[in-house]
Structures are given as structure tokens and as C-alpha cells.
């Protein structure tokens, strides 16, 4: 590749990384794997750039490479579930907590890391449902429904026929319908009342006010916390879980706000004997109306760093509302 071609490659490459990361994340369910696959996509694009003939846009060409990089990576690999996707019955608050670090769990992705024009295409429920599809069906659905490619474009990218693409899309739609992804569970921008709900949610955990926490959960709410394999249904059951299994007490659990998968998220910290607060888990919330419908609490090592959250909080670092409450 000549210097001119190299410079031109850099010009056309800029601006695609974050949207390609979103694409690879949809395919794999892993933010970490997605980063590696985007790097591999750029490497393959660099090596083949001089052969790029411009018959499609650079963006389409990059997505085609990224899709096939993902498909190669997914060969022989199992899906990435959340606990609700294991096929087990819901647990009760008093059941033994069992973790499984051998399962390749679905991971959340920071909003800041990806470009998403339609937030529903990155939300946890959608990504979890995608993981139930065979890899090629997953690719077809993403390329057709998310990126709005034609059947012909998808067929060319996957080296198949438009008829095969349409058949795969039909099967994918049938399986995704079982995930019950409704308009009610979509994520538009939060309104003022929902923002007040989140403020109250943070305050309730800070005070460990179980009545307040339970009251903010939908009656049929779901709580899951990988790598623990159990999942919990029902606001009262979830309340008992938090009350009896969460070690924090009054003024032990501050939260810092962030966003993940187009959804509100919080890093929850736990007070230590020296008076500092250290990471406990990252909660990703699904809000429906003015209640919390679902919480995925991730106990993943390194997750606070990935979301740019501090690893230690002192009293001086607490949000103003919590610092005032604890004074």
C-alpha cells in the first residue's frame, strides 16, 4: 500500500469505529469481544483496501468485513445468556446464591463506546434475544432490520441467495417474537417523572429503605445478577433478596449514574471499614411507565473501569444529594 493509499485509508476509516463496535456487540453480546473484532475488521480492511473497487460505499464494505469477522469468531461458540435465558425457573429470595464463572455471560456496553441511532437496537432485552439465534440468522436480522440492507446486499455479504436471506429472516422474526419485545419495553428518552423515579431509587438504596425500593418496582419485575445463575421475579421477592442478601445497610450503598445499552445504569458502591466505598455491582435498569420493570446487576470484574467509574469513593466524592442526606 502506497503512502497516498495509506493516507486515504485513514481518511475513509475515521468515523466508523463506534458504529462498528455496536454492530460487533450485537453479534457477540460481549463488549470486550466486540473491541477485538473491530480491531480485526480494521486490520482486514487495511490489507484489502487497495483491492476495494468502490462498487459499494466504504461503510457497507466495512460492515461486510465486520460481519464475516464476527461469524468466524462465533463458530463453535455458545451463546451469551443472562440468567433468565438459562431455561431455569425463577428463584426465591432465600435460595442459595450460586455463581458460575464458566458461562460466557452477556455483557453490558457503555453508551459512550458505541454509536446508536435507534436505542432499541442496543437494549439488553434485544441483545439477549439475539443471542438465541444461530449466528447467521443473527447476522441476517441485524443487517436487514437494524442496518436496513436489502436482501440482495445481505446475500452478497454472506455469499448466499436473496431467497435464503428472506427465509432466514422469517425464522429469526418468529424466534424474536417469543422474546416479547413490545413497544412498552422500548426506551425513549426519560421524562421528568422517570428522572424523579431514578433519583428516588438512588436515595432508597442509600437509606436501604426496602418499602421504597419495593414500591418503585413493578409487581412482576425481574431481577438478575450474573454470574449468579438465579433470577428473581416479583417486587416482594426482589425486596427480600436485597434485604437479606445485600450486605449494605443504612448509608452504605451510594450509586453513581451512567448509561448502558441505551438504558439508565448505576454503579453501586459498598462502604468499607475504613469509610471509603468500593465497587459492588453495576445495575442496568429497564423503566416502564414510572416503575422499574427489570434490573440486571452485573458483578463483572473490571466493569467499573469499562464504564469510566471511579474505583474508590470517599465521603467528599458522594453526589450532593447523598452527602446532604448523610450530614
Domain final residue pick, 141, 168, 185: 185
Q: Do 221 and 178 have their domain in common?
A: no
Q: Are strands 231-233 and 255-260 parallel, antiparallel or unpaired?
A: unpaired
Q: Do 38 and 180 have their domain in common?
A: yes
Q: Which of 7, 30, 4, 34 is nearest to 20 (CA)?
A: 34
C-alpha–C-alpha distance, residues 22 and 108, integer Å: 11
Q: Residue 49 maps to which CATH number?
A: 1.20.140.160
Q: Quote the pLDDT of residue 120.
A: 83
Q: Which of 120, 43, 128, 16 is nearest to 82 (CA)?
A: 128
Could you tell me the CA-to-CA distances from 90 to 119, 220, 260 in Å, in that order?
Answer: 28, 12, 25
- Only one residue has cell 426519560, namely 190
Owning domain of residue 9: 3-77+118-185
Number of separate domains in the chain: 2
Q: Is the pTM of this model over 0.85?
A: yes
Q: Residue 239 maps to which CATH number?
A: 3.10.450.50
Cis bond upstream, residue 34 (ω within 30): no
Q: Do 61 and 163 have their domain in common?
A: yes
Q: Do 51 and 136 have their domain in common?
A: yes
C-alpha–C-alpha distance, residues 125 and 221, integer Å: 14
Residue 312 domain-assigned?
A: yes
Q: Quote the pLDDT of residue 50.
A: 64
Q: Do 34 and 177 have their domain in common?
A: yes
Domain final residue pick, 129, 162, 185: 185
Q: Quote the pLDDT of residue 177.
A: 85
CB 319 within 8 A of CB 205: no
- Only one residue has cell 435460595, namely 95
Buried b or exposed e, range 6-44, using 16+ CB within 10 angstroms? eeebeebeeebbebbbbbbbbbbbbbebbbebbebbbee
Residue 93 domain-assigned?
A: no
Q: Do 315 and 206 have their domain in common?
A: yes
C-alpha cell at 18: 463506534
Mean pLDDT by 10 residues, the chain (327 residues): 48 76 96 96 82 69 94 93 96 96 96 81 94 96 96 95 97 85 58 96 98 98 98 98 96 97 97 97 97 97 96 93 68
Residue 68 domain-assigned?
A: yes
Q: Quote the pLDDT of residue 2.
A: 43
Q: Do 52 and 136 have their domain in common?
A: yes
Q: Do 45 and 177 have their domain in common?
A: yes
Q: Quote the pLDDT of residue 184.
A: 46
- Only one residue has cell 464494505, namely 61
Amino acid at each position: 500500500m502506497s503512502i497516498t493509499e495509506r493516507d486515504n485509508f485513514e481518511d475513509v476509516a475515521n468515523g466508523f469505529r463506534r458504529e462498528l463496535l455496536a454492530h460487533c456487540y450485537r453479534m457477540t453480546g460481549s463488549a470486550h469481544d466486540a473491541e477485538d473484532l473491530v480491531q480485526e475488521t480494521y486490520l482486514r480492511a487495511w490489507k484489502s483496501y487497495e483491492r476495494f473497487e468502490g462498487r459499494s460505499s466504504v461503510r457497507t464494505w466495512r460492515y461486510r468485513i465486520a460481519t464475516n469477522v464476527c461469524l468466524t469468531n462465533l463458530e463453535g461458540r455458545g451463546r451469551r445468556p443472562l440468567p433468565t435465558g438459562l431455561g431455569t425457573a425463577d428463584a426465591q429470595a432465600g435460595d442459595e446464591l450460586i455463581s458460575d464463572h464458566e458461562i460466557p455471560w452477556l455483557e453490558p456496553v457503555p453508551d459512550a463506546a458505541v454509536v446508536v441511532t435507534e436505542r432499541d437496537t442496543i437494549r439488553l432485552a434485544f441483545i439477549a434475544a439475539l443471542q438465541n439465534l444461530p449466528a447467521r440468522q443473527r447476522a441476517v436480522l441485524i443487517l436487514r432490520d437494524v442496518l436496513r440492507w436489502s436482501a440482495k446486499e445481505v446475500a452478497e455479504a454472506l455469499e448466499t441467495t436473496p431467497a435464503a436471506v428472506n427465509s432466514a429472516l422469517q425464522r429469526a422474526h418468529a424466534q424474536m417474537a417469543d422474546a416479547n419485545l413490545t413497544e412498552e419495553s422500548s426506551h425513549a428518552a426519560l421524562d421528568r417523572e422517570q428522572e424523579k423515579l431514578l433519583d428516588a431509587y438512588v436515595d432508597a438504596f442509600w437509606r436501604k429503605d426496602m418499602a421504597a425500593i419495593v414500591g418503585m418496582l413493578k409487581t412482576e419485575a425481574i431481577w438478575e445478577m450474573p454470574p449468579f445463575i438465579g433470577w428473581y421475579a416479583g417486587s416482594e421477592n426482589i425486596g427480600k433478596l436485597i434485604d437479606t442478601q445485600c450486605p449494605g445497610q443504612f448509608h452504605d450503598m451510594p450509586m453513581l449514574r451512567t448509561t448502558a445499552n441505551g438504558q439508565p445504569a448505576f454503579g453501586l458502591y459498598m462502604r468499607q471499614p475504613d469509610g471509603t466505598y468500593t465497587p459492588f455491582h453495576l445495575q442496568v435498569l429497564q423503566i416502564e411507565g414510572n416503575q422499574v420493570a427489570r434490573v440486571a446487576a452485573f458483578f463483572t470484574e473490571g466493569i467499573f473501569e469499562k464504564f469510566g467509574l471511579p474505583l474508590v469513593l470517599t465521603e467528599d466524592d458522594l453526589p450532593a444529594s447523598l452527602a446532604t442526606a448523610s450530614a
